[in-house]
Chain A
Amino acid sequence: MIRYTLRRLTGAIGVLLIASVAVFALLHLAPGDPATVLAGPDATPQTVAAIRHQLGLDQSVPHQYVSWIGQLFSGHLGDSYTIHQPIGSLIAQRVGSTLQLTVAATVLTLVLGVAMGVALATSRRRVVTQTLDYLATLALALPPFVSGVILIFLFAVVWKVLPSGGYVALGQQPGEALRRLILPSIAMALPSAPVIARLLAAEMRRVAQQEFVLTAIAKGAGRRWITWRHIVPNSVGPAIIELGIRIGQLLGGAIIAEAIFARAGLGSLLVQAVESRDYRLAQVLLLLAISAAILTQLVAELCIAAIDPRVRVGGTA
């Protein structure tokens, strides 16, 4: 298991490195000289030169990359060029909102996904499976930006039960904070939960056809025993991997949810940074998002290894 973890870890670090190079390169991909781009259209040549020197753009590109990475590691995130505040504190201000959203959406996806999945696979009544299946397809067709608007329309405009947006820190007013979380997290969970559910159900159906289920029946095991002790553990693999990917995608979804539900979080900060071409800020945020995504996928892979001995222990077969 240790060896497997190390291997996966080095793989993840590798991906992260490549991603960081790509993120770094974004500045240099833009047409024109980076310093001019950063300085803006109205800057004088002196300003441009000053910027060039200040940001170390007169050094060689690889050198810039290395020093940038070095700065990030030592915690010097730099200052946002357009907002004139340290990037670190900007992130700290906004991280709460994004974190709330992501965690809530993840929990919802997990709970809904597993419940629906098991129900789909084990229910005897065709009515139940058919309805669940249609619901799943419908939910899949509702990306967050669409479902968000529909939910706001139904719950905030027509029925007026829930607020249409905004953010409140959990520490200050937990009740209000939760109220404002409900709609956005449902919107975000909607397309992901059915994917997990269907994956789980499909895998459960496939596993149910496996021969070792016959062995269990021949042992005299009942239906429930077989489902929970044999089928489910063997079915969760692909669902866990998908969940890992989905949580990563949730970070992207959070950006959209923040736009629709008017929550000031890291996502809207990123959009703002891109619009104002604040490269420093955008790069740090992008790298943060990508790291989080890669981390969750790594954790998912390790979970699989913990469950499945074939992955972590070699064998003769």
Chain B
Amino acid sequence: MSVIVRTGETSAPTVPTRRPQRRYVAAVLRTPRGLIGLVLVVGIILVAVVGPWVIPQDALTQGPDALVGPSGTHWLGTDEVGRDLFARLLVGTRVDLVVTLIAVPISGVLGTLLGMVGMLNRFAGSFCQRLFDVLLGVPAVILGIAVALAVSPGMGSVIIAIVLVTMPKFGKQSRTALLGQLPQEYVAAAEVLGYPRSRIMFRHVLPNILDAIFVRFAVEMAQAVVVEGGLSLIGLGIQPPQPSLGAMIKSGSTYLFDHPLYSMAPVVVVVGLVAGYLLLADALNEANLRR
């Protein structure tokens, strides 16, 4: 009975056991998911970073050969105004990476800290949670559009949008994890021993919730790629002539018949990044569960 198989763990302790950090990282990498995920993400990042220096073409120069197929000079062909697709792909990926790698860590740190602020001041804690609830109630794309309306669309608006979308997720997660840890007796013990609240928060509780935060981080990186792509696709994200993955997909969609590579190449990159991050998240989650 696969569903009703019991593992006999009905009396397992609520606090996880611990194994040293090194084995944790190795455990993550040992799974096929972890490995594939890591390869995908790191691979794409490397190519995007190194690429533009390797190829001679430039992403912005327009040229005479429009919509040409793959060739020796243009590895993926050209777009409708003769720009090299491969170069544009690389630059677009770079932009995406920059945006996501700025926005998500900021959200992560801010969100996690704000989620835990309830330990220091109960009022501030509830206030932040209400704020997060409001933000979470708004669909990501809508938030992005609203930000684009307020400040003109561009890299800045995309970063702000991602932060607004992502920070509440970290905040809620960190608060839930915090609430799970607070009743643990080691927290009360720390208080009775006279440790200052800040010490308890940072040295005791935070390390115990970091596992879940890492998984969330991987998931949100995937989400951030999607948000940036979506916004750029509808024209309210990265603005032309800056290349972006979303805009390329949109422009390319009109030429799907004759030049599918125009759209498909950025599609592959997006799928690769998102899948990579999600696989990593899965692997991290499994490693956490096994602790």
The short answer to whether A and B are in direct contact, CB under 8 Å, is yes
CB-CB < 8 A to A141: which residues of B?
A: 222, 271, 274-275, 278
Asked whether, in the complex, the Cβ of B139 is within 8 Å of the Cβ of A146, the reply is no
- Number of chain A residues whose Cβ lies closer than 8 Å to a Cβ of chain B: 66
- The answer to whether A137 touches B6, judged by C-beta atoms less than 8 angstroms apart, is no
**CB within 8 Å of A: which B211-252 residues:** 222, 226, 229-230, 233-236, 246, 249-250, 252
Residues on B with beta carbons closer than 8 Å to the beta carbon of A145: 229-230, 233, 246, 249-250
Tell me whether A209 is interfacial, beta carbon within 8 Å.
yes
Q: Which residues of chain B are within 8 angstroms of A122 by Cβ–Cβ distance?
A: 2-3
Complex Cα distance, B149 from A141, in Å, reads 28
Residue B253 at the chain A interface, CB threshold 8 Å: yes
Name, among B133, B142, B148, the residue most crowded by chain A CB atoms within 10 Å (CB to CB).
B142
Across-interface contacts of B140 in A (CB, < 8 A): 249, 252
Q: When the two chains form their complex, are residues A29 and B4 in contact, meaning their CB atoms are under 8 A apart?
A: no
Interface centre among B6, B141, B270 (most CB of A within 10 A): B141
Among the stretches A53-61, A84-92, A289-297, the one at the interface with B is: A289-297
- Which one of B7, B148, B264 lies within 8 Å of A209 (CB-CB)? B7
A271 to B142, CA, bound (A): 10
Q: B2 touching A15 by the CB < 8 A rule?
A: no
**Total A-B pairs in contact (CB under 8 Å)?**
164
A259 within 8 A of B: yes
* Option from A18, A121, A152 in Cβ contact (under 8 Å) with B253: A152
Assess whether B139 is in contact with A251, with CB atoms less than 8 Å apart.
yes
Alpha-carbon distance A286/B146, docked complex (angstroms): 7
The residue of chain B having its C-beta at the shortest distance from the C-beta of A232 within the complex is B3
CB neighbours (8 Å) of A290 from chain B are 137-139, 142
Given B3, B7, B137, B256, which contacts A293 in the complex, CB threshold below 8 Å? B137
Is residue A214 contacting chain B, with contact meaning CB distance below 8 A?
Answer: yes
**Contact in complex: B250, A153 (CB < 8 Å):** no
Residues of B within 8 A of A205 (CB): 3
B150 contacts the other chain (CB 8 A): yes
Assuming A146-B270, A252-B142, is B263 touching A153 (CB within 8 A)? yes
Q: How many B residues have CB within 8 A of the partner chain? A: 52
Whether B257 contacts A157 by the Cβ 8 Å rule is yes
Contacting pair A211 B150 (CB below 8 A)? no
B277 closest partner in A (C-beta): A141
Q: Say yes or no for A217: interface residue by CB 8 A criterion.
A: yes
Restricting to A248-281, which residues have a CB under 8 Å from any CB of B? Answer: 248-253, 255-256, 259-260, 270-271, 274-275, 277, 279
Is B10 among interface residues, defined by CB-CB distance under 8 A?
A: yes
Q: Binary interface profile of A, 120-147, with partner B (CB < 8 Å = 1, else 0)?
A: 0111100000000000011011111110
Q: Please tell me which one of the listed residues A143, A211, A253, A256 contacts residue B274 in the complex, with CB atoms under 8 A apart.
A: A143
By a beta-carbon cutoff of 8 Å, the part of chain B in contact with chain A is: 1-7, 9-10, 33, 133-134, 136-142, 145-146, 148-151, 153, 222, 226, 229-230, 233-236, 246, 249-250, 252-253, 256-257, 260, 263-264, 267, 270-271, 274-275, 278-279, 282
Q: A145-B229, A274-B149 are in contact. List 11 more A-B contacts (CB 8 A).
A: A30-B150, A121-B3, A140-B275, A141-B274, A145-B246, A149-B267, A256-B234, A274-B236, A275-B236, A290-B138, A293-B142
Closest 5 A/B residue pairs (Cβ): A252-B141, A252-B139, A141-B275, A29-B150, A143-B226
